[in-house]
Protein backbone atom coordinates (compact mmCIF):
# COMPACT_ATOMS: atom_id res chain seq x y z
CA UNK A 1 0.00 0.00 0.00
CA UNK A 2 1.71 3.21 -1.17
CA UNK A 3 1.05 6.65 0.27
CA UNK A 4 0.01 9.70 -1.70
CA UNK A 5 1.93 12.89 -2.38
CA UNK A 6 -0.47 14.71 -0.07
CA UNK A 7 0.25 12.30 2.79
CA UNK A 8 3.99 12.64 2.20
CA UNK A 9 3.59 16.43 2.25
CA UNK A 10 1.71 16.27 5.55
CA UNK A 11 4.42 14.10 7.11
CA UNK A 12 7.10 16.55 5.98
CA UNK A 13 5.09 19.56 7.08
CA UNK A 14 4.83 18.20 10.61
CA UNK A 15 8.43 17.04 10.74
CA UNK A 16 7.26 13.45 11.16
CA UNK A 17 9.22 10.27 10.57
CA UNK A 18 6.77 7.69 9.25
CA UNK A 19 9.20 4.77 9.50
CA UNK A 20 10.73 5.33 12.93
CA UNK A 21 8.55 7.95 14.59
CA UNK A 22 9.96 10.75 16.69
CA UNK A 23 12.87 10.16 19.02
CA UNK A 24 12.36 10.65 22.74
CA UNK A 25 14.44 13.83 22.64
CA UNK A 26 12.46 15.21 19.67
CA UNK A 27 9.17 14.56 21.45
CA UNK A 28 10.49 16.23 24.61
CA UNK A 29 11.68 19.24 22.62
CA UNK A 30 8.27 19.66 20.97
CA UNK A 31 6.50 19.39 24.30
CA UNK A 32 8.81 22.05 25.77
CA UNK A 33 8.13 24.34 22.82
CA UNK A 34 4.49 24.46 23.99
CA UNK A 35 5.54 25.34 27.55
CA UNK A 36 5.30 21.74 28.69
CA UNK A 37 1.70 21.46 27.57
CA UNK A 38 0.23 17.97 27.76
CA UNK A 39 -2.25 16.39 25.39
CA UNK A 40 -5.19 17.02 27.72
CA UNK A 41 -8.52 18.74 27.12
CA UNK A 42 -10.07 20.88 29.85
CA UNK A 43 -13.34 19.58 31.28
CA UNK A 44 -16.57 21.36 30.28
CA UNK A 45 -17.04 22.16 33.98
CA UNK A 46 -13.55 22.88 35.23
CA UNK A 47 -13.50 22.90 39.01
CA UNK A 48 -10.88 21.86 41.59
CA UNK A 49 -10.84 18.17 42.46
CA UNK A 50 -11.80 18.91 46.07
CA UNK A 51 -15.00 20.61 44.88
CA UNK A 52 -15.90 17.52 42.84
CA UNK A 53 -15.34 15.41 45.95
CA UNK A 54 -17.63 17.61 48.03
CA UNK A 55 -20.20 17.88 45.24
CA UNK A 56 -20.11 14.49 43.48
CA UNK A 57 -23.29 15.42 41.61
CA UNK A 58 -21.07 17.53 39.30
CA UNK A 59 -19.64 14.34 37.83
CA UNK A 60 -23.15 13.17 36.95
CA UNK A 61 -24.00 16.22 34.86
CA UNK A 62 -24.58 14.95 31.26
CA UNK A 63 -21.70 16.95 29.78
CA UNK A 64 -19.26 15.60 32.38
CA UNK A 65 -20.44 12.01 31.86
CA UNK A 66 -20.04 12.39 28.10
CA UNK A 67 -16.62 13.98 28.58
CA UNK A 68 -15.39 10.96 30.54
CA UNK A 69 -16.65 8.68 27.76
CA UNK A 70 -14.49 10.38 25.10
CA UNK A 71 -11.27 10.46 27.12
CA UNK A 72 -8.39 8.27 25.85
CA UNK A 73 -6.31 6.38 28.41
CA UNK A 74 -3.29 5.43 26.39
CA UNK A 75 -2.04 5.27 22.81
CA UNK A 76 0.19 3.03 20.74
CA UNK A 77 2.90 5.36 19.47
CA UNK A 78 6.02 4.87 17.36
CA UNK A 79 9.00 6.25 19.32
CA UNK A 80 12.66 5.60 18.59
CA UNK A 81 11.66 3.04 15.95
CA UNK A 82 9.55 0.91 18.34
CA UNK A 83 5.80 0.62 18.91
CA UNK A 84 5.05 1.25 22.58
CA UNK A 85 1.98 1.81 24.75
CA UNK A 86 2.21 5.33 26.07
CA UNK A 87 0.13 7.72 28.17
CA UNK A 88 -2.07 9.58 25.66
CA UNK A 89 -1.34 12.85 27.49
CA UNK A 90 2.31 12.61 26.37
CA UNK A 91 1.60 12.70 22.63
CA UNK A 92 2.98 15.62 20.62
CA UNK A 93 2.50 17.00 17.12
CA UNK A 94 4.18 14.77 14.56
CA UNK A 95 3.83 11.53 16.53
CA UNK A 96 2.91 8.42 14.55
CA UNK A 97 0.15 6.40 16.26
CA UNK A 98 -1.58 3.12 15.55
CA UNK A 99 -5.33 2.76 16.09
CA UNK A 100 -7.41 -0.41 16.21
CA UNK A 101 -11.02 -1.42 16.78
CA UNK A 102 -12.27 -0.18 20.16
CA UNK A 103 -9.64 2.54 20.57
CA UNK A 104 -10.50 6.11 21.50
CA UNK A 105 -8.67 8.44 19.10
CA UNK A 106 -6.01 10.03 21.41
CA UNK A 107 -5.49 13.31 19.48
CA UNK A 108 -6.56 14.97 16.26
CA UNK A 109 -4.95 12.74 13.63
CA UNK A 110 -4.71 12.24 9.88
CA UNK A 111 -4.97 8.70 8.51
CA UNK A 112 -1.83 7.68 6.59
CA UNK A 113 -2.44 3.98 5.94
CA UNK A 114 -4.90 1.19 6.76
CA UNK A 115 -4.09 -1.92 8.76
CA UNK A 116 -1.56 -2.49 11.53
CA UNK A 117 1.59 -2.64 9.41
CA UNK A 118 3.58 0.15 7.79
CA UNK A 119 3.17 0.72 4.08
CA UNK A 120 6.14 1.26 1.80
CA UNK A 121 6.81 4.98 2.30
CA UNK A 122 9.15 4.97 -0.70
CA UNK A 123 6.20 4.22 -2.98
CA UNK A 124 4.34 7.48 -3.54
CA UNK A 125 1.30 7.77 -5.80
CA UNK A 126 0.90 10.98 -7.80
CA UNK A 127 -2.28 13.01 -8.22
CA UNK A 128 -3.06 11.64 -11.66
CA UNK A 129 -2.82 8.07 -10.41
CA UNK A 130 -5.31 8.37 -7.56
CA UNK A 131 -8.54 6.40 -7.83
CA UNK A 132 -11.20 6.62 -5.15
CA UNK A 133 -12.75 3.26 -5.97
CA UNK A 134 -12.88 0.51 -3.37
CA UNK A 135 -10.01 -1.91 -3.78
CA UNK A 136 -11.02 -4.63 -1.35
CA UNK A 137 -11.45 -7.39 -3.93
CA UNK A 138 -8.64 -6.29 -6.25
CA UNK A 139 -6.11 -6.07 -3.45
CA UNK A 140 -7.17 -9.39 -1.98
CA UNK A 141 -6.69 -11.08 -5.34
CA UNK A 142 -3.14 -9.75 -5.57
CA UNK A 143 -2.41 -11.03 -2.09
CA UNK A 144 -0.43 -7.95 -1.08
CA UNK A 145 -2.61 -6.58 1.73
CA UNK A 146 -4.40 -8.19 4.63
CA UNK A 147 -8.17 -8.06 5.10
CA UNK A 148 -8.04 -4.72 6.94
CA UNK A 149 -8.89 -2.65 3.89
CA UNK A 150 -11.33 -0.24 5.47
CA UNK A 151 -11.78 1.86 8.59
CA UNK A 152 -14.95 2.99 10.38
CA UNK A 153 -14.81 5.73 13.04
CA UNK A 154 -17.65 7.21 15.11
CA UNK A 155 -17.34 10.97 15.82
CA UNK A 156 -20.94 11.48 16.95
CA UNK A 157 -20.00 12.49 20.50
CA UNK A 158 -17.53 15.09 19.20
CA UNK A 159 -19.17 16.72 16.17
CA UNK A 160 -22.77 15.50 16.40
CA UNK A 161 -22.59 13.86 12.97
CA UNK A 162 -25.14 11.07 12.71
CA UNK A 163 -23.24 8.56 10.57
CA UNK A 164 -19.84 7.01 11.29
CA UNK A 165 -16.98 7.97 8.97
CA UNK A 166 -16.14 5.13 6.58
CA UNK A 167 -12.75 5.03 4.85
CA UNK A 168 -12.26 2.27 2.25
CA UNK A 169 -9.02 1.36 0.54
CA UNK A 170 -8.81 3.00 -2.89
CA UNK A 171 -8.29 1.02 -6.08
CA UNK A 172 -4.66 2.20 -6.17
CA UNK A 173 -4.20 0.79 -2.63
CA UNK A 174 -4.04 4.20 -0.89
CA UNK A 175 -6.49 5.63 1.65
CA UNK A 176 -8.06 9.07 1.79
CA UNK A 177 -6.03 10.98 4.43
CA UNK A 178 -9.10 11.97 6.49
CA UNK A 179 -9.00 13.80 9.82
CA UNK A 180 -9.94 11.86 12.96
CA UNK A 181 -10.93 13.85 16.03
CA UNK A 182 -9.73 13.47 19.61
CA UNK A 183 -12.35 11.44 21.48
CA UNK A 184 -13.79 9.61 18.46
CA UNK A 185 -13.97 5.81 18.55
CA UNK A 186 -12.71 3.24 16.07
CA UNK A 187 -15.61 0.89 15.34
CA UNK A 188 -13.95 -1.32 12.76
CA UNK A 189 -10.53 -1.79 11.15
CA UNK A 190 -7.16 -0.34 12.02
CA UNK A 191 -4.87 2.39 10.77
CA UNK A 192 -1.59 4.25 11.21
CA UNK A 193 -2.07 8.00 11.64
CA UNK A 194 -0.17 11.26 12.06
CA UNK A 195 -0.89 13.43 15.13
CA UNK A 196 -1.80 16.93 13.94
CA UNK A 197 -3.51 18.47 16.98
CA UNK A 198 -3.02 17.98 20.73
CA UNK A 199 -4.70 19.06 23.95
CA UNK A 200 -6.22 22.51 23.97
CA UNK A 201 -5.64 22.82 20.22
CA UNK A 202 -7.90 19.92 19.28
CA UNK A 203 -11.36 20.34 17.79
CA UNK A 204 -12.95 19.05 21.01
CA UNK A 205 -11.15 21.67 23.11
CA UNK A 206 -12.22 24.46 20.74
CA UNK A 207 -15.88 23.41 20.92
CA UNK A 208 -15.78 23.22 24.72
CA UNK A 209 -14.20 26.67 24.99
CA UNK A 210 -16.91 28.11 22.77
CA UNK A 211 -19.65 26.48 24.85
CA UNK A 212 -20.83 24.33 21.95
CA UNK A 213 -20.09 20.92 23.37
CA UNK A 214 -21.79 18.50 23.73
CA UNK A 215 -23.07 19.27 20.24
CA UNK A 216 -26.77 19.95 19.85
CA UNK A 217 -26.69 19.25 16.12
CA UNK A 218 -24.38 18.20 13.30
CA UNK A 219 -21.30 20.45 13.44
CA UNK A 220 -19.18 18.35 11.09
CA UNK A 221 -19.30 20.86 8.22
CA UNK A 222 -18.22 23.72 10.45
CA UNK A 223 -15.53 21.60 12.08
CA UNK A 224 -14.08 20.84 8.65
CA UNK A 225 -13.89 24.57 7.91
CA UNK A 226 -11.99 25.13 11.16
CA UNK A 227 -9.59 22.44 10.03
CA UNK A 228 -9.01 24.16 6.68
CA UNK A 229 -8.14 27.42 8.41
CA UNK A 230 -5.75 25.71 10.79
CA UNK A 231 -4.08 23.85 7.94
CA UNK A 232 -3.35 27.14 6.19
CA UNK A 233 -1.82 28.57 9.37
CA UNK A 234 0.35 25.60 10.36
CA UNK A 235 4.02 25.44 9.36
CA UNK A 236 6.84 22.97 9.77
CA UNK A 237 8.62 24.97 12.45
CA UNK A 238 5.63 26.32 14.36
CA UNK A 239 4.72 23.68 16.91
CA UNK A 240 2.81 26.29 18.89
CA UNK A 241 0.17 26.39 16.17
CA UNK A 242 -2.69 23.91 16.21
CA UNK A 243 -1.37 21.88 13.32
CA UNK A 244 -4.86 20.53 12.64
CA UNK A 245 -4.79 19.72 8.95
CA UNK A 246 -8.04 19.13 7.16
CA UNK A 247 -7.27 16.85 4.28
CA UNK A 248 -10.74 15.72 3.32
CA UNK A 249 -10.40 17.70 0.08
CA UNK A 250 -7.63 15.33 -1.01
> In the beta sheet, which residues pair with residue 150?
168
Residue 75 has pLDDT above 90, yes or no: yes
Q: What is the pLDDT of residue 245?
A: 37
Q: What is the pLDDT of residue 148?
A: 54
- Tell me the average pLDDT across 41-47: 85
- Tell me the average pLDDT across 37-43: 91
Kindly report, residue by residue over 166-201, the tens digit of the pLDDT. Answer: 999 888 888 888 899 999 999 999 999 999 999 998
- Tell me the average pLDDT across 5-31: 93
- Tell me the average pLDDT across 213-234: 76
- Tell me the average pLDDT across 203-223: 92
What's the CA gap between 232 and 228, in Å, rounded? 6
Q: What is the pLDDT of residue 133?
A: 45
Mean pLDDT of the chain: 80
pLDDT tier at 33 (50, 70, 90 boundaries)?
A: confident
Cβ atoms within 10 Å, residue 162: 9
Cβ atoms of 160 and 207 within 8 Å: the answer is no
Residue 90 has pLDDT above 90, yes or no: yes
Kindly report, residue by residue over 119-138, the tens digit of the pLDDT. Answer: 655 555 554 444 444 444 43
> Which residue did the predictor score with more confidence, 53 or 87?
87
> Which residue did the predictor score with more confidence, 241 or 219?
219
Q: What is the pLDDT of residue 223?
A: 87
Residue 205 has pLDDT above 70, yes or no: yes
Residue 204 φ then ψ, to 5°: -60, -45
- Tell me the average pLDDT across 139-147: 41
- Tell me the average pLDDT across 216-220: 93
Could you tell me the sign of the dihedral formed by the alpha carbons of 47, 213, 202, 109, in that order?
A: positive
Q: Is 175 left (phi over 0), alpha (psi -120 to 50) or beta?
A: beta
Cβ atoms of 212 and 43 within 8 Å: the answer is no
- Tell me the average pLDDT across 152-162: 95
Q: What is the pLDDT of residue 222?
A: 86
Q: What is the pLDDT of residue 225?
A: 74
Amino acid sequence: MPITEHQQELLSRHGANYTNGLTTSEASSRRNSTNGGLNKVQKPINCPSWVCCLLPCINHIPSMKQFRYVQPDDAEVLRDGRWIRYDAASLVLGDIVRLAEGDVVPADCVVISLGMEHVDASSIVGEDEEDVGNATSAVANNGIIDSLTELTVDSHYITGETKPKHLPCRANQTVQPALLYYGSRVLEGACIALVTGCGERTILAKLIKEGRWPPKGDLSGEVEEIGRMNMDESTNDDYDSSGIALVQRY
